[in-house]
Amino acid sequence: MTWAIGERLGAALLGAALLGAAARPAGAAAAPAGAAAIRVRHAWIRVLPGDLPAAAYARLENRGDESAALVGALSGRYRRIMLHESLTSGGMSTMRRVSQLTIPAHGRAALSPGGYHLMLMGATRPVKPGDRISITLLFAGGSTETVTFLAMPANASAGP
């Protein structure tokens, strides 16, 4: 599948040593908080050559008293965005679709290389390093937050 090729290319360019540890979600949310309590920082996109899908990363901080969950994203610049988790076993990097990324109350979660990420597919026009891409994050309960992601080159290992 194309996205798998893209992820492997990105991983190869990065080297396994640079892959960050994924933040693991805590237990299930009781009543997820709205996006208002979520602060998003260091939002960036790793752009891969050609038509390969890109991955979007960010750090999410939940300042609220209730757990929150990222469940998806939308952008006018991509036809489809999926929430993925990268997994490494036996030196092989794969990824799977996940339904949500939990951000614990007064806690953090990360979309990061080697961990959870937004898979950006079908750019409506080419995205190049330096572009600022607006992506709307969708949270459980229906709240949203629109964030500007900075596009960075394929060999970038950390965001802005």
Sites of contact with Cu ion (CB under 5 A)? 84, 95, 119
Name residue, tokens 């950006």. 120
Pick the closest to residue 154 from 14, 1, 8 (CA basis): 14
Beta bridge partners of 88: 93
- Closer to Cu ion by Cβ: residue 119 or 151: 119
- Closer to Cu ion by Cβ: residue 116 or 139: 116
- Closer to Cu ion by Cβ: residue 23 or 29: 23
The least CB distance from residue 44 to Cu ion, in Å, is 15
The least CB distance from residue 26 to Cu ion, in Å, is 23
For β-strands 92-97 and 78-89, DSSP reports them as antiparallel
The least CB distance from residue 69 to Cu ion, in Å, is 18
Pick the closest to residue 84 from 22, 128, 153 (CA basis): 22
- Closer to Cu ion by Cβ: residue 37 or 48: 48
Secondary structure of 54-112 in HEC code, one letter for each residue: EEEEEEEEECCCCCEEEEEEECCCEEEEEEEEEEEECCEEEEEECCCEEECCCCEEEEC
The least CB distance from residue 121 to Cu ion, in Å, is 9
